[in-house]
Structure 1
Amino acid sequence: MRLLDILGTLASVPGLFTLASAAKHFQIPPRPDVVPSPYNAGQSMPISLPRDPDRYCQVKPVLPPQRDDAPSILQALQECNDGGTVVLDASYLIGSPLDLTFLKHVDIVITGNIAFDDADVYYWDSHSFKYTFQNQSVFWKVGGEDVNIYGDLGLGEGRSVVDGRGQAYWEEMMVNENLFRPMLFAFDGVKGATMSNLRMRNPPNWFNIIANSSDVIISNMDLRAESLKGTKIANSDGWDTYRSDRVVIQDSFIRNTDDCVSFKPNSTNIVVQNLECIGSHGISIGSIGQYKGETDIVENLHIYNISMTNASDFARIKVWPGIETDFQPHLGGGGGSGHVRNVTFDLLHSVNNDRAITITQCYGQKNETLCNEFPANLTITDVTMKNIFGTTSSKLDPLAGTLVCSAPDRCSNIKVENITISVPSGEAPVYECRNMDNGILQLTCIPDA
């Protein structure tokens, strides 16, 4: 058969075009060499195997009036799994959930743009993948072994984009605050994965969760949650780690309205470095201790070289009290146990944040008397916060932070060193310190109330 006949036959497959040596026929950026720097997660990441140069699957978007490219993407990943490369270089609309937890030795190249169907924001309530933790759900999830997802930020704003179309959800939240909203992306059950050089836009809920996974590197990402009509943006965490080990998140930009990065229960051996965060709730450990009868472990974290601007908090640890309480729709808790241990925050540049440092064991509860009566069951030990400089906002001036444990035996060996924060009034900044060893805090602590 002539080559042109072969090409015509392959191109006729609905939603999928497979071509040997396809890199010669359409532009594919090389896989980035993603290396943790300057810190790693304690050991070398697994080596990603070379891909077969003759196995490429290019996904063709379906034509109107169809609105769902999910089946074509699934077909391509089944076809090119175990050694191939899947290319998404056009505009795609995903209208149904994608369970991609079967992947092995595959690269996914996104040089086009992917959006999730927002025609019916209630559809995803019953058609997304659920997590019991904080009633979260997600549009699609990726898992398996040796998976690389990448794009090319040099292609321009409309390319290498994953868009959650959150605007429709934020507007619906104005009339129904109980609306369940999916996260934009999940690595779930992956061992050995990278994600790099992509733009993520407007998630209905969090941008990313890294769950039940190990040996993951995230690098050179551009995340932005921006309302078009002044509508309040709901949540929009940049990355949340959950039940995961050996993760590096680095060299990225995040503009959002909630945690820039958050370490949820059982996050261990994690590095976050070289980030610029704007408008967030900080680099947050927690919330943890939320579920009675469960043990949350968060340990061996290194947070380095972070710029945080116009946020509520910066270096932050948030723990639920020792009694179950209600907090907000779909969210309540307290009474869980566990520990936070061996954490370093280093080289933090604060620009107009309400607090430079926040430690609380009364998260989710406004009644401090209740928190004192029922101290957190979870302990915080061996934490160092150092080389923190810049400014705080006028909101709490001259207060620049709070370090409050719910009982004297709940926190130990928490050090603050070389902190040079200024407040707008020009006064000496002060910090609320309670049930702490003030002798190893290089701060001016106000007396306990």
Structure 2
Amino acid sequence: MRRSTVNVLGLLTVYVLIPRAIPSPTSPSASGTCTLSSSGSDDAPALLKAAADSACSTVTIPTSTTLSIQSKLNMTGTLNKHINLQGTIKFNPDIDYWTDNAFTFDFQDQAAFWLLGGKNIVLDGGGTIDGSGQAWYDAFAKDSSTLRPILLTLFQATNVTVQNIRMIDGPEWINFVNEGQHITFRNITISAVSTSKNAAKNTDGWDIFRSDDVVIEDSNINNGDDCVSFKPSSLGQYEGEYDIVQNVLATNIHMSNAQNGARIKAWAGKGVGSGLVKNITFSGFVETNVDNPIIIDQCYETSADDCAKYPSNTYIQDVWFNNISGTSSGKEKAVVASLSCSPDGRCSDINVNDINVTPPSKYGTPQFSCQNVQISGDAASLFGTCKTTG
């Protein structure tokens, strides 16, 4: 994947046991604040103990402190907690340990360093979560079966705000929201960039799974894969699974040097799942040097023949591409927008308005392609008459 840089200026919403003595955090102050310091070894037990202590309403990691996390963090069931991260939480790049001990998910064979769940949690403070990703980027280049942990997983969490935090060098996905409700990310800076010849791969900024009311705003992302991805069963990837992604607003997005801009993809072919994508709006995108600035691909990873024979069972409805401008990279030559659906009316109510995207000058006039879809809106004429199959 190519590196993508995105500035999310607006709103995005979707309706152990440790065989050692556990060091204690500083005793709670009168205000209920517990302040942690570096132990010189594994600081995970102290962080876990403070998070579980109801007397510690605020857990503070001071600016000058780096907590070394050498064992997994299970902070599910956390209640009414403020984690004031002013310093750094840094995960030790012990690949052998994490391969055997990270939390695992059947969904897309994922693993995680840190599960944060419960109710009424704030994680802020201006500090850094560091995944020590370079060791993982290099290991994955040698062995693509290496299971790389997610940096931060909000697991079955309700009423959580993560804000004013820097997240760097996650081994794979940066944020995973799994079965959460009322989640807000605000003023998050993400950077996952390799310093060797081995690229940082699959470093999605956010992946959202079976969650409701997730807001991501005023954030900056520089990574090597998706910026924000909605992944209920990965839109028809898994046979026997039915999922819904609906009520999505992505607005005021600045994006550069990316593979895909405003995109919806769904699997087709024999033996895939099914679902519904509905009420999706992409608005106010400014894109620079993007391979596919506007794209619907309802035959993802499926040949044209197989897609015609086995159309996608993920229906796409009520989609709006509004006020999208900028430049393509020229990878698709003059094509700057492609809306390609499965046969038999699997896409409906697709709207395009105020589209002004151009390819590099050597490719001439911008071209717009479509297949098996009826398009409405003031820019519909750009697509002409769509081809049909089946």
Q: Same fold (TM over 0.5)?
A: yes
The answer to whether residue 74 in structure 2 is matched with residue 61 in structure 1 is no
Separation of aligned partners in 2, 1:250 and 1:149? 15
Counterpart of 2:298 in structure 1 is 361
For 1:170, give the aligned amino acid.
Answer: Y
Q: 2: distance between equivalents of 1:341 and 1:319? A: 13
Contact 1:82 1:104 in 2 (8 A): no
Most deviating of 81-90 and 369-378: 81-90
- In structure 2, relative to structure 1, the CA distance for the partners of 1:74 and 1:305 (3 Å cut) is same
Give the alignment of 1:397-412 within 5 angstroms.
397-412=333-348
Structure-2 residue corresponding to 1:139: 113
**Structure 2 CA distance, aligned partners of 1:288 and 1:123?**
33
2:27 to 18, 25, 36: 18
Task: Compute the displacement of 1:83 (Å).
Answer: 6.7
Alignment of 1:100 with 2:37, yes or no, is no
The answer as to 2:108 corresponding to 1:161 is: no
SS of the residue 1:122 aligns to:
helix
Q: Distance in 1 between matches of 2:231 and 2:381?
A: 28
CA distance in structure 2 between the partners assigned to 1:131 and 1:305 by the alignment: 33
Is the 8 Å Cα contact of residues 236 and 256 (structure 1) preserved in structure 2? yes
Aligned to 2:149, what secondary structure does the other structure show? Answer: coil
Q: Does 2:311 match 1:337?
A: no
Query: In the alignment, what sits opposite 1:280?
Result: none
| Structure 2 letter corresponding to 1:204 | P
- Determine if contact 2:95/2:136 at 8 Å carries over to the other structure: yes
Map of 1:362-381 to 2, 5 A cutoff?
Answer: 362-365=299-302, 367-381=303-317
CA–CA distance in structure 1, aligned partners of residues 47 and 385 of structure 2: 58
Amino acid paired to 1:71: P
Distance 1:170 1:446, change over 3 A: farther
1:204 aligns with 2:171: yes
- Alpha-carbon distance in 2 for matches of 1:102, 1:254: 29
* Residue 248 of structure 2 is aligned to residue 301 of structure 1: yes
Q: Per-residue CA shift, 1:319-340, capped at 9, x if unaligned?
A: 011424xxxxxxxxxx111100
Q: Percent identity?
A: 37
The code of the aligned residue for 2:244 comes to I
Instruction: Give 2:226's aligned amino acid.
Output: D
Alpha carbons 1:60, 1:72 under 8 Å: kept: no
Paired AA for residue 317 in structure 1: I
Is 1:87 the counterpart of 2:64 in the alignment? Answer: no
Aligned partners of 2:219 and 2:194: how far apart in 1?
A: 21
The letter for the 1-side match of 2:277 is V
Matched, 1:292 2:228: no
Pick 1 or 2: higher relative contact order, CA cutoff 8 A, min separation 6. Answer: 2
Tell me how far apart the structure 2 counterparts of residues 148 and 109 of structure 1 sit (CA, whole Å). 8
**Under a length normalisation based on structure 2, what TM-score does the superposition of the two structures give?**
0.89
For 1:253, the equivalent position in structure 2 comes to: 220
Give the count of matched residue pairs. Answer: 362
1:117 aligns with 2:92: yes
Change (3 A) 1:82 1:372: farther
Q: Which amino acid aligns with 2:83?
A: I
Matched residue of 2:52: which SS? helix
The reply to whether residue 382 of structure 1 matches residue 318 of structure 2 is: yes
Deviations 1:159-211 (A, max 9, x none): x1101111111111122111111110011111101000010001111000111
Give the residue type in structure 2 aligned to 1:85.
Answer: T
Q: Secondary structure at the match of 1:414?
A: strand
Confirm or deny that 1:185 pairs with 2:159: no
Q: Once the two structures are superposed, what CA deviation does each residue of 1:54-105 show, in whole Å capped at 9, x if it has no partner? A: 1011112212xx3x111010111122x3771001121111111111011111
Distance 2:163 2:344 in 1: 43
Q: Does 1:176 align with 2:115?
A: no
Structure 2: which 5+ runs fail to align?
A: 1-21
CA distance in 2, matches of 1:362, 1:114: 41
Counterpart CA distance in 2 for 1:447 and 1:150 is 49
Q: CA deviation at 1:420?
A: 0.6
Which of the two has greater strand per residue? 2
Q: For the residues of structure 1 that align with 2:260 and 2:27, how far apart are their CA atoms? A: 49
* 1:397 CA displacement: 2.0
Distance, in Å, in 2 between the alignment partners of 1:341 and 1:377 is 14
User: Any idea what the Cα deviations from partners look like across 1:385-437, whole Å, max 9, x if unmatched?
Assistant: 11001111121120112111111310000111110111112622112200011
Q: AA paired with 1:184?
A: L
* Deviation digits for residues 234-292 of structure 1 (CA, Å, limit 9, x no counterpart): 110001111100111000000001110011118xxxxxxxxxxxxxxxxxxxx310111
Q: 1:317 pairs with 253, 264, 267, which one?
A: 264
Runs of 4+ in 1 over 4 A off after TM superposition: none
Give the superposition deviation at 1:447. 6.2
Within 2, Cα distance between the matches of 1:131 and 1:239? Answer: 16
Q: Give 3-state SS (helix, strand or coil) of 2:306's partner.
A: helix
The equivalent of 2:367 in structure 1 is 430
Paired residue secondary structure (1:179): coil
* 8 Å contact from structure 2 (residues 113, 151) kept in 1: yes
TM-score normalized by structure 1? 0.78
Equivalent pair of 1:359/1:403 in contact (CA under 8 Å): yes
- CA-to-aligned-CA distance 1:10-62 (integer Å, 9 cap, x gap): xxx934112424xxxxxxxxxxxxxxxxxxxxxxxxxxxxxxxx101111221
The 8 Å contact of residues 418 and 442 in structure 1, kept in 2 or not, is answered as no
Cα distance in 2, alignment partners of residues 401 and 85 from structure 1 = 49
